[in-house]
Chains A and B, each alone.
Chain A
Amino acid sequence: MSEARAQILAGIRKSLGRGKLEGEAAAALDRRLASHERILVPKRSEGDQAHKVGLFVEMAEAVQCSVDRLDSLADVPEKLADYLRRENLPAHIRRAGALDTLDIPWEKAPSLTFEGGRAVTEDAVSLTPALAGIAETGTMMLHSAPETPTTLHFVPDTHVVLLKESQIVGAYEDAWDMLRQKFGLKDGAGMPRTVNLITGPSRTGDVEQIIQLGAHGPRRLHILLVKD
Chain B
Amino acid sequence: MQATSHSFKQNAHDALADAQLQKALSKMRPGFQQKRADVVAKLPEFEDLRDRGRDIKNHVLEHLDYYLERFEENVTRHGGKVHWCRNAEEARRTIMEICRSVDAKTVTKGKSMVAEEIGLNEYLEEHGVEPIETDLGEYIIQLRNEPPSHIIAPAIHVNKEQVVEAFRAKHTDLPPNRPLEEVGDITDEARTQLRPKYFAADVGITGANFLIAETGSTVIVTNEGNGDLTQTLAKAHVVVASLEKIVPTLEDASSILRLLARSATGQEFSVYTTFSSGPRRGADLDGPEEFHVVLLDNGRSAMLGTEYQEMLRCIRCSACMNHCPVYAAVGGHAYGWVYPGPMGAVLTPSLIGIDEAGHLPNASTFCGRCEQVCPMRIPLPKMMRHYRAKEYREGKTTPQVRTGLGLWSYFAKRPWLYRQSAKFGAALLGFLGGRKGRIATLPLASGWTSVRDMPAPEGRTFQQLYRMSGHGKKGDRA
| Pairing of A with B | yes
Interface residues of A (CB under 8 A from B): 1-2, 4-5, 7-9, 11-13, 15-17, 20-21, 26, 29, 32-33, 36-40, 42-44, 59, 62-63, 117-119, 121, 137-139, 144-146, 149-151, 153-155, 171-173, 176, 185, 187-189, 191-210, 212, 214-218
Q: Which residue of A is nearest B199, CB measured?
A: A121
CB within 8 Å for A191 and B78 given contacts A8-B86, A42-B43, A209-B156: yes
User: In this assembly, does B455 line the interface, its C-beta being within 8 Å of a C-beta of chain A?
Assistant: no
- The distance from the CB of A42 to the nearest CB of chain B, in whole angstroms, is 5
State whether A191 touches B217 (Cβ < 8 A): yes
How far is A126 from B304 in the complex, measured between Cα atoms in Å?
48
State whether A206 touches B285 (Cβ < 8 A): no
Chain A residues in 8 Å Cβ range of B159: 208
Q: Which one of A154, A197, A209 contacts B229 once the chains associate, using CB atoms below 8 Å?
A: A154
Chain A residues in 8 Å Cβ range of B250: 36, 173, 176
Chain B residues in 8 Å Cβ range of A13: 65
State whether A208 touches B224 (Cβ < 8 A): no
State whether A214 touches B187 (Cβ < 8 A): yes
Q: How many A-B residue pairs have CB under 8 A?
A: 270
CB within 8 Å for A7 and B86 given contacts A1-B94, A40-B52, A154-B228: yes
Chain A residues in 8 Å Cβ range of B86: 4, 7-8
11 contacts between A and B (CB under 8 A): A1-B83, A8-B84, A39-B254, A139-B273, A173-B251, A193-B281, A197-B274, A205-B223, A205-B265, A216-B225, A217-B226
User: In this assembly, does B287 line the interface, its C-beta being within 8 Å of a C-beta of chain A?
Assistant: yes
Q: Which of B7-15, B188-196, B328-336, B338-346 is the interface stretch?
A: B188-196
Interface residues of B in 119-160 (CB under 8 A from A): 134-137, 140, 153-156, 159-160
How far is A187 from B250 in the complex, measured between Cα atoms in Å?
12
Q: Which one of A20, A137, A201 contacts B269 once the chains associate, using CB atoms below 8 Å?
A: A137
State whether B285 touches A215 (Cβ < 8 A): no
State whether A5 touches B187 (Cβ < 8 A): no
Which of A8, A173, A185 counts the most chain B CB atoms within 10 A? Answer: A8
Beta-carbon contacts of B153-178 to A below 8 Å, as 1s and 0s? 11110011001000000000000000
Q: Which one of B56, B140, B229 contacts A217 once the chains associate, using CB atoms below 8 Å?
A: B229
Chain A residues in 8 Å Cβ range of B394: none
CB within 8 Å for A199 and B251 given contacts A206-B136, A210-B183: no
Interface residues of B in 208-267 (CB under 8 A from A): 213-217, 223-226, 228-229, 232-233, 243, 248-252, 254-255, 257-258, 265, 267
State whether A33 touches B224 (Cβ < 8 A): no
Interface residues of B (CB under 8 A from A): 24, 27-28, 31-32, 43-45, 48-49, 52, 56, 62-70, 73-74, 77-78, 83-86, 90, 94, 134-137, 140, 153-156, 159-160, 163, 183-184, 186-188, 190-191, 194-196, 199, 213-217, 223-226, 228-229, 232-233, 243, 248-252, 254-255, 257-258, 265, 267-287, 295, 297, 301-306
Q: Which one of A4, A36, A192, A215 contacts B225 once the chains associate, using CB atoms below 8 Å?
A: A215
- The distance from the CB of A120 to the nearest CB of chain B, in whole angstroms, is 8
Chain B residues in 8 Å Cβ range of A198: 271-272
State whether B272 touches A188 (Cβ < 8 A): no
- The distance from the CB of A36 to the nearest CB of chain B, in whole angstroms, is 6
Chain B residues in 8 Å Cβ range of A154: 225, 228-229, 232
- The distance from the CB of B282 to the nearest CB of chain A, in whole angstroms, is 8
State whether B65 touches A21 (Cβ < 8 A): yes
How far is A66 from B269 in the complex, measured between Cα atoms in Å?
17
How far is A40 from B51 in the complex, measured between Cα atoms in Å?
10
How far is A154 from B224 in the complex, measured between Cα atoms in Å?
10
Q: Which one of B32, B135, B254 contacts A176 once the chains associate, using CB atoms below 8 Å?
A: B254
Chain B residues in 8 Å Cβ range of A117: 285
How far is A218 from B27 in the complex, measured between Cα atoms in Å?
28
State whether B90 touches A1 (Cβ < 8 A): yes
How far is A33 from B67 in the complex, measured between Cα atoms in Å?
9
Q: Which residue of B is nearest A155, CB measured?
A: B229
State whether A146 touches B254 (Cβ < 8 A): no
Chain B residues in 8 Å Cβ range of A202: 223-225, 271-272
How far is A194 from B232 in the complex, measured between Cα atoms in Å?
9
State whether A212 touches B45 (Cβ < 8 A): no
Chain B residues in 8 Å Cβ range of A194: 232, 274-277, 287
CB within 8 Å for A203 and B216 given contacts A151-B232, A215-B223: no
Chain A residues in 8 Å Cβ range of B49: 40, 42
CB within 8 Å for A8 and B272 given contacts A117-B285, A153-B228: no
CB within 8 Å for A173 and B272 given contacts A150-B228, A205-B223, A216-B225: no
How far is A137 from B279 in the complex, measured between Cα atoms in Å?
29
Q: Which one of B32, B52, B163 contacts A207 once the chains associate, using CB atoms below 8 Å?
A: B163
The 10 closest A-B pairs by CB, nearest first: A217-B225, A215-B224, A15-B304, A206-B137, A39-B255, A5-B84, A146-B283, A188-B74, A137-B269, A197-B273
State whether A21 touches B285 (Cβ < 8 A): no
Q: Which one of A12, A29, A144 contacts B284 once the chains associate, using CB atoms below 8 Å?
A: A144
Chain B residues in 8 Å Cβ range of A63: 267-268, 271
State whether B302 touches A11 (Cβ < 8 A): yes
CB within 8 Å for A59 and B268 given contacts A150-B232, A215-B187, A216-B224: yes
State whether A199 touches B269 (Cβ < 8 A): yes
- The distance from the CB of B267 to the nearest CB of chain A, in whole angstroms, is 8
Chain A residues in 8 Å Cβ range of B32: 209
State whether B135 touches A206 (Cβ < 8 A): yes
State whether A16 touches B302 (Cβ < 8 A): no
Q: Which residue of A is nearest B84, CB measured?
A: A5
- The distance from the CB of B319 to the nearest CB of chain A, in whole angstroms, is 15
State whether A40 touches B302 (Cβ < 8 A): no
- 15 other contacts beyond A15-B301, A173-B254, A205-B265, with CB at 8 A cut-off? A1-B85, A9-B69, A21-B63, A33-B249, A144-B286, A145-B284, A150-B232, A176-B250, A193-B284, A198-B271, A199-B270, A204-B224, A206-B135, A207-B183, A212-B187
- The distance from the CB of B96 to the nearest CB of chain A, in whole angstroms, is 13
Q: Which one of B78, B163, B233, B306 contacts A151 once the chains associate, using CB atoms below 8 Å?
A: B233
